[in-house]
Structure 1
Amino acid sequence: MNPILHKIVETKYSEIEISRSKPLPDRTIPIRDWKSHLKTNSVSVIAECKKGSPSAGILRPDYDPVQIAKIYEESGAGAISVLTDRSYFFGSLQDLESVAKQVSLPVIRKDFILDPVQIDEAYAYGASAILLIVRILTPELLKSLLRHASGLGLAVLVETHNEHEVQVALDSGANTIGINTRDLDTFQIHKNLIEQIAPKLDSSIIRVAESGIESYDDWQKYRGLIDSMLVGTFFMKSKNISADFFSLLNGPPQNTK
């Protein structure tokens, strides 16, 4: 495991112990259907609210997740991802709850989930889905966490980085599989990974492309292979999210005379 990822996981276990002693609020936000928003006739966008990351630092100094989420919804996003890790990504559960209260789209808690208590937190703070990362879980724990989330009515995006991890995800019963082209060990982007893996997945699986998508051309070669794409850094660096959202889906505006 990459040293940074290893450190994140160690920190997360410490946070989990603290979380066990904290009471959770009663959920007041409805669970919004995941599949109908992502499995559509066109490629949907899971648009991400992310202030920063360990590799990039602060991406958006004027970060306002609610304002950003509203722009995403108005722009036609299928779902919204909210980073809730505080130590490395500068997020919080309060960000998750604030966004979930202000939009009518399914919101996914994106974090390094290792324990059922984190899923209980996601539920309590308004998530309709969670992220599980195969790389940091045993197959047995992955199955257990999937069952726990399903028991609460939450959808699960299972993130993979190679064919072996995809098989682990399928064996666990995952029905939404993210293919992350960013190698967690080297942080390099492997853009051909989706073309290698996605055609082997059954059409009943919601196939999500993750990382490295910053233009219309970036995802065009995936057309017909994916149902959705998760886009974060591109939007967080944008000076005009609405315009860049449109260009991402439709290509640069054409000059007309």
Structure 2
Amino acid sequence: MNPILHKIVETKHSEIKESRGRSLPTRKIPIRDWKSHLKTSSVSVIAECKKGSPSAGILRPSYDPVTIAKEYENAGAGAISVLTDEEYFFGSLRDLESVASAVSLPVIRKDFILDPIQIDEAYAFGASAILLIVRILTPTELESLLKHAHQLGLSVLVETHNEKEVFVALDAGATTIGINTRDLDTFQIHKNLIEEIAPKLDPSIIRVAESGIESFEDWQKYMGMIDSMLVGTYFMKSPNISRDFHSLLHGTKSI
């Protein structure tokens, strides 16, 4: 495991210990249907609210997740991803709650989830879905966390990086598979990964392309292979999200 990823996982274990016994708020936000927003007649966008990352540092100094999320919704996003990790990605559960309260789209908690208590937090703070990363979980852990999320009515995006991890995800019961072109061990992007893996997945699976999508041309070659794409850094670096959202989908900056 990459030293940075290993450090993040260690931090998560410490946070989980601190979370035990802590009371959670009563959920006030309805769970919004994941599949109908992502598996549509065209490729949908899971647009991400992310202030920064360990590899890129601060991406958006004037970060207001609610304003960004509303702009995403108005631009036509299918769902919104909110980074909730505080120490490495500068997010919070309050960001999740604020965004989920402000939009009518399904919102996914994107974090390094290792324990059911983190799923309980996601539910309490308004998420309609969570992210689970195969790379940091055993097959047994993955299956258990998937079941826990589904019992709460939450959808799950299961992130993979190779065919072996895809098989693990499917065996655990995943119905939404994310193919992350970024190798979490090296942080390198392998764009051909989508073309290698996505066509082999059953059409009933919601297939999500993750990382490295920064242009109309980037995702056009995936047409017919994916149902959705998760895009964060491209938008976070943009001075005009609405314009560049349109440019990403249509290949023109007409806005």
TM-score by length of 1: 0.98
Alignment partners' CA distance in 1, 2:21 and 2:94: 18
AA of the residue aligned to 2:181 = T
What letter is aligned with 1:172? A
RMSD: 0.6
Deviations, residues 176-219 of structure 1 (Å, cap 9, x unaligned)? 00000001111000000000000100000000000000000000
Gaps of 5+ in 1: none
CA deviation digits over 1:118-171, x for unaligned, max 9?
Answer: 000000000000000000000000000000000000000000000100000000
Q: How far apart are 1:252 and its partner, in Å?
A: 1.9
Residue 163 of structure 2: aligned partner: 163
Contact map agreement 2:129 2:155 (CA 8 A) in 1 = yes
Q: How does 1:33-112 map to 2 (within 5 A)?
A: 33-112=33-112
How many residues get paired? Answer: 254
Residues 1-257 of structure 1: matches in 2 within 5 Å? 1-253=1-253
Most deviating of 16-25 and 65-74: 16-25
Which 5+ residue runs of structure 2 have no aligned equivalent?
none
The aligned amino acid for 1:79 is A
Deviation (angstroms), 1:21: 2.4
Q: Is the 8 A contact 2:69 2:80 kept in 1?
A: yes
**Partners of 1:12 and 1:136 in 2: CA distance:** 11
State the alpha-carbon separation in 2 of the partners of residues 41 and 28 from structure 1. 31
- Following superposition, the deviation at residue 17 of structure 1 comes to 0.5
Superposed displacement of residue 174, structure 1: 0.1
SS in 1 for 2:55: coil
Q: What is the identity, as a one-letter code, of the residue corresponding to 2:100?
A: A
Equivalent-residue separation in structure 1 for 2:16 and 2:85 (angstroms): 12
- How many angstroms apart in 1 are the aligned matches of 2:220 and 2:167? 25
Q: Which amino acid aligns with 1:235?
A: F
Distance 2:230 2:215 in 1: 13
Letter in 1 for 2:106: P
The AA in structure 2 aligned to 1:229 is M
Output the TM-score relative to the length of structure 2: 0.99
SS at match of 1:141: helix
